[in-house]
């Protein structure tokens, strides 16, 4: 029994010694002030070694009471733990912990050797001798280890003694804690005070919640019926409902898919066109324009201003390595389309189909946004109005309307043509596209009164975008008849006053397609925010900036692919400058005006 108790006591001593050494290993490289018992003096230095019964300081100095320093003869000073009265940490070690890791590894190896020696010990005398040998080895290994770690801030305290002193009670030492961030020492605290924890349970018991809530209820004199919780309370709650109750109402039907209200009798092919009665039609046309005319506000968005650009302007695009983009005249673009038809059997229908498809992609993806017609979008599709003239641009606008309708957009076509007031026959391309568009269920009208009715429908989608195809490169608004010109001018006034973004084909309607100027009323020009050139850009678009009709940066220009073969540009000398690859991954290219 005595032998068993002795072995147990030895095991406890070794365990406490290992804990003490592990704790001491973290102080290597600390700068400390050690107050001695007998001499009543303070020694400052860097901890070099920590032995069983002594501590070694590197670069020691004597700290006087007035704060001055006195040098010590030796570069290292060994201080016995029995002579230490107090210890203050002045600086922490640096981030380099290699020496500390070595000390911890050494202590771990010693602990393993001690465990093996304890398992093999039989008598108490052999255990004590092995313990003394282990202590000698620890002393030798500790003398071989050095540290260069410096300190920045923290605090701690401990007492240095032999391993047996771990079993004896320790006196609480005064420890000076250093403020790491402000580098100012805080008040001295007892080590025992740091171990105290806040007792939440005891403090909660001091709070009498029941009495507090009773006091609140006694002082509350608000009627229950006036409380917020009683506002939505239904006193007459039903358990059974009639067949006409608790039924969701159907969504209002705007009649957009109903074509019965549209009259196409005035939109027929020229070969079947009846004789025009100008006397009666004039009054009828004026009556139908009263509603839209009342909304129109005369704006002069394209009123000529002093030119803000140099004497010339050019198109540039990053697609073409920032090189100038050549422009064409109306005669050149007309020759290009003629060569496509005669030499390559690319009919106007094929070119219009290519242009309309690419233009619809431009409107959906780059202007309005494809998310507006996404399958997961349950909102109403945006409404696009297309102003169609009896010309090449009108046929492209109709093809674009058909593609937009197929993509999920709501489209409305206004045709600036009526057999009763128009002097020219309906263009064959426009007639063919009208038939295709009407067969797929597209909406169109040539009556401003009917257009006004559908745009003001409160149950329908609001108008969000307008495509201007009244003019193009082959027509001038001023070349229309008197009544058609009057209707075109009212449409232009209304477009400018509606503040809905407008995209014009080839050139804004109202400007001469050859010169880019307006020789009559400068206010009768569509205030376009986008201009889409079909096939090739027109030179007249640059003249808008040259003559001060438009400011740079206000209009965004696009070039739309119509499927023109490159070999077309090699058939005439005046077209060779256009021989390049105009389009690659996209059917449209943005052009910048500089």
Note whether 27 and 55 are within 8 A (CB).
no
Residue 389 pLDDT more than 90? yes
**Kind and range of the H or E run holding 90:** strand 84-91
DSSP H or E run through 325: strand 324-325
Of 14-28, 188-202, 517-531, which gets the smallest average pLDDT?
14-28
The SS3 assignment for 509 reads coil
With 90 as the cut, is the pLDDT of residue 394 above it?
yes
- Out of 34-48, 94-108, 172-186, 431-445, which region has the weakest mean confidence (pLDDT)? 172-186
* H-assigned helices in 121-269: 124-144, 191-194, 200-205, 209-218
Tokens, residue 550 = 């438009």
Minimum mean pLDDT range among 234-243, 331-340, 435-444, 511-520: 234-243
Distance between first and last Cα of the chain: 105
Work out the pLDDT band at 259, boundaries 50, 70, 90.
low
Average pLDDT over residues 491-517: 91
CA distance 561 to 583: 7
Residues 6+ apart with CB under 8 A from 193: none
CA-CA distance, 540 to 547, in Å (whole number)?
10
Whether pLDDT at 369 is above 50: yes
At 278 the pLDDT is 38
For residue 262, the model assigns a pLDDT of 56
Candidate ranges 358-372, 457-471, 513-527; pick with highest mean pLDDT: 358-372
* Helix 2-25 × helix 124-144 angle, to 10°: 10
Q: Are 560 and 355 in contact (CB under 8 A)?
A: yes
Q: For residue 105, which of 25, 24, 28 has the smallest C-alpha distance?
A: 25
If one compares 162 and 211, the residue with the highest pLDDT of the two is 211
The domains located in the chain, with CATH, are: 2-194 (2.30.30.100), 270-593 (3.40.50.10260)
Q: 34 CB contacts (<8 Å, ≥6 apart)? A: 42, 43, 44, 45, 55, 57, 79, 84, 86, 87
What integer pLDDT is reported at residue 434 of this predicted model?
92
Exposure class string for 398-427: b at 16+ Cβ within 10 A, else e: bbbbbbbbeeebbbbbbbbbbbbbbeeebb
Q: Give the number of other Cβ atoms within 10 Å of residue 502's Cβ.
A: 23
List all residues 6 or more positions away from 100 whose beta carbon is below 8 Å from its beta carbon.
Answer: 25, 26, 28, 29, 93, 147, 149
Total residue length of the chain: 594
- Evaluate whether 87 touches 29 at the Cβ level (below 8 Å): no
Mean pLDDT value across residues 65-74: 78
> How much is the pLDDT for 282?
39
What would the mean pLDDT of 33-47 be, rounded to a whole number? 83
Model confidence at 112, pLDDT cuts 50, 70, 90, reads low
What is the band of 69 on the pLDDT scale with cuts at 50, 70, 90? Answer: confident
The confidence score (pLDDT) of residue 172 equals: 44
Tell me the two tokens of residue 203: 């403090």
Q: Are 109 and 170 in contact (CB under 8 A)?
A: no
Residue 41 CB partners (closer than 8 Å, separation 6+): 35, 62, 63
State the pairing for strand pair 410-415/443-445.
Answer: parallel
Q: Which of 151-165, 381-395, 427-441 has the least mean pLDDT?
A: 151-165
- pLDDT tens for each residue of 474-484: 888 888 888 88
Tokens linked to 492: 């232009």
- Examine the pLDDT at 470 and tell me if it is beyond 50: yes
Please calculate the CA angle 337-340-342 and round it to the nearest 5 degrees: 110
Q: What is the pLDDT of residue 480?
A: 83
pLDDT band at 264 (very low <50, low <70, confident <90, very high): low
Check residue 505 and give its pLDDT. Answer: 96
Output the pLDDT for position 285: 40
Residue written as token pair 């569509």: 526
CB 158 within 8 A of CB 24: yes
What pLDDT, on the 0 to 100 scale, is given for residue 257? 60
Write the CA distances from 375 to 371, 378, 409, integer angstroms: 9, 8, 12
CA distance 155 to 91: 8
- How far is the C-alpha of 47 from the C-alpha of 31, rounded, in Å? 6
- pLDDT value of position 418: 85
Q: In Å, how far are 96, 244, 394 from 475, measured between CA atoms?
A: 84, 60, 10
- pLDDT of 410 above 80: yes
Residue 292 has pLDDT above 70, yes or no: no
Query: 247-254 long-range contacts, Cβ below 8 Å, gap at least 24?
Result: 252/459, 253/459, 254/457, 254/459, 254/460, 254/461
Average pLDDT, the chain: 75
- Write out pLDDT tens, residues 543-552: 888 888 888 8
Which of 483, 418, 466, 409 is CA-nearest to residue 446?
418
Q: How confident is the model at residue 275 (pLDDT cuts 50, 70, 90)?
A: very low
Tell me, letter by letter, the H, E, C secondary structure of 165-176.
HHHCCCCCCEEC
Q: Find the mean pLDDT for residues 448-466.
A: 84
What pLDDT shows up at residue 229?
A: 77
At 272, the pLDDT band (50, 70, 90 cuts) reads very low
């Amino acid at each position: 029994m005595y032998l068993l108790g002795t072995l147990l006591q030895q095991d406890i001593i070794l365990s406490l010694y290992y804990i003490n050494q592990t704790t001491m290993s973290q102080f290597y490289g600390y700068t400390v002030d050690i107050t001695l018992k007998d001499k009543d003096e303070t020694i400052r230095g860097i901890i070099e070694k920590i032995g069983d019964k002594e501590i070694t300081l590197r670069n020691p100095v004597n700290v006087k009471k007035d704060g001055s320093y006195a040098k010590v003869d030796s570069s290292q000073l060994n201080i016995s733990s029995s002579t230490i009265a107090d210890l203050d940490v002045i600086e922490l070690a640096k981030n380099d912990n290699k020496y500390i890791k070595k000390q911890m590894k050494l202590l771990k190896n010693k602990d393993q050797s001690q465990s093996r020696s304890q398992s093999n010990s039989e008598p108490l005398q052999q255990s004590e001798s092995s313990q003394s040998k282990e202590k000698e080895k620890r002393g030798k290994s500790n003398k071989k280890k050095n540290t260069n770690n410096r300190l920045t801030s923290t605090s701690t305290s401990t007492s240095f003694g032999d391993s047996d002193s771990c079993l004896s009670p320790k006196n609480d030492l005064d420890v000076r804690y250093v403020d790491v961030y402000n580098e100012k020492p805080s008040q001295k605290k007892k080590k025992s005070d740091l171990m105290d924890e806040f007792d939440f349970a005891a403090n909660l018991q001091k709070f009498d919640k029941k009495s507090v809530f009773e006091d609140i209820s006694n002082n509350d004199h608000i009627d229950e019926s006036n409380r917020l919780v009683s506002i939505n309370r239904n006193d007459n709650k039903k358990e059974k409902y009639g067949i006409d109750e608790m039924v969701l109402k159907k969504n209002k039907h705007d009649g957009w898919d109903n074509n019965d209200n549209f009259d196409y009798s005035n939109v027929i092919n020229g070969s079947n066109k009846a004789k025009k009665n100008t006397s009666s039609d004039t009054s009828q046309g004026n009556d139908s324009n009263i509603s839209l005319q009342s909304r129109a506000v005369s704006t002069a968005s394209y009123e000529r201003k002093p030119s803000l650009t140099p004497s010339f302007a050019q198109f540039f695009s990053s697609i073409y390595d920032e090189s100038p983009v050549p422009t064409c005249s109306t005669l050149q673009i007309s020759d290009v389309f003629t060569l496509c038809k005669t030499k390559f059997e690319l009919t106007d229908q094929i070119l219009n189909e290519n242009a309309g498809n690419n233009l619809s992609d431009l409107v959906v993806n780059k202007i309005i946004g494809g998310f507006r017609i996404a399958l997961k979008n349950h909102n109403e599709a945006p409404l696009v109005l297309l102003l169609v003239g009896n010309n090449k641009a009108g046929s492209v606008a109709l093809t674009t309307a058909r593609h937009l309708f197929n993509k999920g957009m709501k489209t409305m076509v206004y045709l600036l043509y009526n057999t009763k007031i128009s002097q020219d026959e309906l263009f064959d391309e426009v007639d063919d596209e009208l038939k295709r568009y009407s067969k797929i269920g597209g909406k169109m009208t040539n009556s401003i009164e009917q257009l006004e009715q559908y745009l003001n429908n409160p149950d329908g989608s609001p108008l969000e975008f307008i495509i201007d195809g009244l003019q193009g490169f082959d027509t001038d608004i001023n070349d229309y008849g008197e009544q058609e010109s009057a209707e075109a001018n009212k449409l232009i006034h209304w477009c400018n006053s509606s503040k809905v973004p407008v995209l014009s084909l080839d050139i804004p309607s109202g400007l001469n397609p050859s010169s880019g100027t307006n020789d009559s009323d400068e206010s009768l020009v569509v205030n376009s925010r986008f201009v889409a050139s079909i096939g090739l850009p027109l030179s007249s678009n640059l003249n808008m900036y040259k003559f001060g009709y438009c400011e740079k940066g206000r209009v965004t220009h696009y070039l739309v692919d119509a499927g023109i073969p490159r070999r077309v540009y090699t058939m005439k000398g005046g077209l060779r400058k256009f021989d390049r690859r105009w389009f690659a991954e996209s059917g449209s290219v943005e052009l910048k005006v500089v």
